[in-house]
């Protein structure tokens, strides 16, 4: 893995939802520390004073029990509940029909990401990357294809479980363009750690251009290595698992490859995206990601692997 979630990403919020979570975290950390310090101070005071508590009489002890043991926790916890309900009210406001919805499905061990193409009204499918316009709130609908995963982009929002047969929603908004790393946050098997996600935030016009480009069908290679690679892709029945829009049938067992060359990473954050990574992945996926569902193509000769990688790399 060539990058990872910074350990303090949660406390460096890059959008309003994450900002609310970070504020609540600070209130809990500081407030909890104060309560702990007060309790410790009371304990030290009780241990050091000369007269044992038993001498003070039962009314004195009852006062402490009711005051510190009942009234204090009720007041503090009620205040905390009211504060957190107030501070998180914007995370699930009534749905704005204009708000874009992106569907994300967890798979062992990758992310399927679906957008609605605003022009054609069809789905634009990609994998392991979510692209967003800066400064705009987007609803993310998550579910799972197999086991329970958890969607987490710490700099932008809280976690939400991805449960087979259920759809959960959360809101993402990033204030600035940039790349924010996400990670599956629920242990889901052997390659849970290599189930990373990139959230790429564009300026709004650049986002429009990006979505229009992704909605296009794949580039059909006309000659050379890439054409040979496209023939091998058909011969080896890669399209039984992977869709390449415009070049073959729809399949969703593995990630959609229509614009695979335009992504930042391969295999959910496992390898940087380039021609050499594609070739290495095809030859032996188990070497970089043991347990991955992708079979090895080491039975192909070197020239064929190079051609397949060249074909995939030009799918931008």
The footprint of ligand CUA (CB under 6 A) covers: 106, 109, 149, 184, 186-188, 192, 195
Tokens standing for 120?
Answer: 């054609």
Half-sphere exposure of 7 (CA within 13 A, CB side): 0
The minimum distance between CB 162 and ligand CUA, in angstroms, equals 8
Helix residue spans in 49-183 (DSSP H): 58-66, 72-87
Helices (H), 218-284: 224-235, 275-283
Least separation in angstroms between residue 218's CB and ligand CUA is 28
Distances, alpha carbon 67 to alpha carbons 53, 63, 112, 173, in Å: 16, 6, 54, 43
Q: Which is nearer to ligand CUA, 147 or 264 (CB)?
A: 147
Q: Specify the residue, 253 or 303, whose C-beta has the smaller distance to ligand CUA.
A: 253
Quote the tokens at residue 66: 């009711």
Single out the residue of 198, 197, 187, 113 nearest to residue 148, CA to CA: 187
Asked if 171 and 138 touch (Cβ cutoff 8 Å), the reply is yes
Of 107 and 228, which has the nearer Cβ to ligand CUA?
107
Q: Which of 220, 192, 206 is nearest to 311 (CA)?
A: 220
Would you tell me how many other CB atoms lie within 10 Å of the CB of residue 174? 29
Which lies closer to ligand CUA via its Cβ, residue 183 or residue 314?
183
In whole angstroms, the minimum distance from the beta carbon of 258 to ligand CUA comes to 23
CB of 185 to ligand CUA, least distance (A): 7
CB of 268 to ligand CUA, least distance (A): 9
Calculate ∠ Cα 222-227-231, nearest 5°.
130
Toward ligand CUA, which CB reaches closer, 124 or 188?
188
**Minimum distance from residue 188 beta carbon to ligand CUA (Å):** 3
Tell me whether residue 106 or residue 133 sits nearer to ligand CUA (CB atom): 106
Helix (H, G, I), strand (E, B) or coil at 17: helix
């Amino acid at each position: 893995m060539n990058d990872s979630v910074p350990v303090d990403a949660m406390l460096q919020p890059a959008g309003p939802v994450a900002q609310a979570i970070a504020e609540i975290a600070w209130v809990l950390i500081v407030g909890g520390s104060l309560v702990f310090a007060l309790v410790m101070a009371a304990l030290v005071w009780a241990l050091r004073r000369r007269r044992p508590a038993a001498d003070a009489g039962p009314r004195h002890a009852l006062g402490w029990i009711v005051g510190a043991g009942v009234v204090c926790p009720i007041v503090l916890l009620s205040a905390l509940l009211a504060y957190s309900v107030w501070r998180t009210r914007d995370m699930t406001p009534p749905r704005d029909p204009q708000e874009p919805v992106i569907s994300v499905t967890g798979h062992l061990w990758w992310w399927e990401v679906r957008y609605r193409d605003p022009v054609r009204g069809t789905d634009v499918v990609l994998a392991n990357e979510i692209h967003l316009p800066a400064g705009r709130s987007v609803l993310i609908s998550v579910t799972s294809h197999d086991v329970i995963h958890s969607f987490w982009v710490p700099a932008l929002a809280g976690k939400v479980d991805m449960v087979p047969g259920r759809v959960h929603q959360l809101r993402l908004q990033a204030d600035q363009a940039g790349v924010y790393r996400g990670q599956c946050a629920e242990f889901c098997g052997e390659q849970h750690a290599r189930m990373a996600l990139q959230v790429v935030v564009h300026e709004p016009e650049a986002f429009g251009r990006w979505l229009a480009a992704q909605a296009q069908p794949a580039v059909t290679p006309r000659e050379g290595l890439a054409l040979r690679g496209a023939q091998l892709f058909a011969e080896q029945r890669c399209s039984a698992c992977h869709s390449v829009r415009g070049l073959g049938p729809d399949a969703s067992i593995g990630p959609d490859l229509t614009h695979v060359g335009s992504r930042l990473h391969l295999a959910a954050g496992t390898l940087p995206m380039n021609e050499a990574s594609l070739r290495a992945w095809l030859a032996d996926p188990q070497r970089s990601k043991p347990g991955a569902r992708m079979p090895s193509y080491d039975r192909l000769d070197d020239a064929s692997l190079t051609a397949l990688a060249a074909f995939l790399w030009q799918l931008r």
